[in-house]
Amino acid sequence: PYFKTIKELQDKILVATIKHSKIVLQIDNACLAADDFPTRSGLGGRHNGLRGVLDELTPARTNLEMQIEGLREELADLQENQQRKSVPWGA
């Protein structure tokens, strides 16, 4: 009967050891996540800073797109004028 009791106690110790190890692992993972958190929030700040830069550059981009459109229209007019000049008057 003593060996049976010893075996049951050893099994309980093993189960408790496994539970303890799982808890220690969870704590370690939580600590790693907590250490990583400031880095992630720092990236959020960088993201917001870059968003501000993008907002500042948007008007310049719009202006350049308008200039491109104007140049395309001018090119189309020049090509149309060139075609008119190359067509004989009697045609």
Instruction: Record the tokens describing residue 3, joined without a space.
Output: 């060996």
Domain borders along the chain are 1-25
Give the C-alpha separation, 55 to 5, whole Å: 74
SS3 50: helix
Give the C-alpha separation, 43 to 32, whole Å: 17
Asked whether residue 19 carries a pLDDT value surpassing 90, the answer given is: yes
Percent with pLDDT over 90 in the chain: 46
Q: What's the pLDDT band for 66 if we cut at 50, 70, 90?
A: very high
Instruction: Record the tokens describing residue 65, joined without a space.
Output: 């797109």
Summarised one tens digit per residue, pLDDT across range 20-48 is 999 999 998 888 888 777 666 666 677 77
